[in-house]
């Protein structure tokens, strides 16, 4: 897949999560939460894509006119561990260069609510990223949303598949809003400016 990009190329923002109401409020689904907010800002609703196992929204981010960026928001409906297939299918369908793909995902090794934006890197044990990297290569953007480590001896799998704690939920809307802002900044202004504004 082509890594180089140009200003007219579309962006693909993939919020990672698991489909189904039983997973909707899990920590592992924060990528879906950010994608849903971005869709709300575009005034659009997700629809099932005919060629990929995903729900998508097509729209623009940024000011009206040529300064705005064409963006496809996606929520893979394949379950987290096999996210790479739907994302690759969408990238091929919309002709999105690898450098214009953004994964929005939960991150265990960052404190709750803290954001980190980066290009490339490892998967750090995250199965959604592992699947994407296997399908695409490493050089896509990541917006990493900190969820912290599990308390005590709780298993990681149990922790990420639980809903945010009541204390966390008090600030969740604010942090999801900030993550959506970070995605918009990344698409419009580029990685360095977005990192300086949102990497805390």
Angle subtended at Cα 129 by Cα 124 and Cα 134, rounded to the nearest 5 degrees:
110
- Quick check: helix, strand or coil at residue 157? helix
Catalytic residue among 28, 105, 126, 141: 28
**Strand spans (E) along 6-119:** 11-15, 47-48, 54-61, 69-76, 101-107, 115-119
Instruction: Reply yes or no on whether 28 is catalytic.
Output: yes
Strand positions, DSSP E, 49-149: 54-61, 69-76, 101-107, 115-119, 141-146
- Model pLDDT for residues 137-171, shown as the tens digit of each residue: 999 999 999 999 998 889 999 999 999 999 999 99
19-63: per-residue pLDDT in tens?
A: 999 999 999 999 999 999 999 999 999 999 988 999 999 999 887
Q: What is the pTM of this model?
A: 0.94
- Angle among Cα 147, 133, 71 to the nearest 5 degrees reads 75
Q: State residue 68's pLDDT score.
A: 81
> pLDDT at position 2, please?
44
Q: State how far the Cα of 4 lies from the Cα of 110, in Å rounded to an integer.
A: 30
Bridge partners, 12 (sequence order): 72, 101
């Amino acid at each position: 897949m082509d890594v180089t990009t140009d200003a007219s190329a579309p962006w693909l923002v993939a919020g990672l999560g698991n489909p189904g109401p039983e997973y909707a409020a899990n920590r592992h689904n924060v990528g879906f939460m950010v994608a849903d907010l971005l869709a709300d800002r575009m005034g659009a609703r997700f629809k099932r894509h005919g060629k990929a196992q995903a729900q998508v929204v097509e729209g623009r981010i940024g000011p009206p006119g040529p300064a705005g960026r064409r963006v496809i928001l996606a929520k893979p409906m394949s379950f987290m561990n096999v996210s790479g297939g739907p994302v690759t299918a969408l990238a091929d369908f919309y002709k999105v260069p690898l450098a214009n793909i953004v994964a929005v995902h939960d991150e265990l090794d960052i404190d709750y609510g803290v954001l980190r934006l980066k290009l490339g890197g490892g998967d750090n044990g995250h199965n959604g990223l592992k699947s994407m990297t296997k399908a695409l290569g490493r050089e896509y953007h990541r917006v990493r949303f900190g969820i912290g480590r599990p308390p005590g001896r709780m298993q990681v799998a149990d922790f990420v598949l639980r809903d945010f704690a009541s204390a966390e939920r008090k600030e969740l809307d604010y942090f999801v809003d900030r993550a959506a802002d970070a995605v918009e900044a990344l698409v419009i202004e580029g990685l360095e400016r977005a990192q300086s504004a949102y990497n805390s």
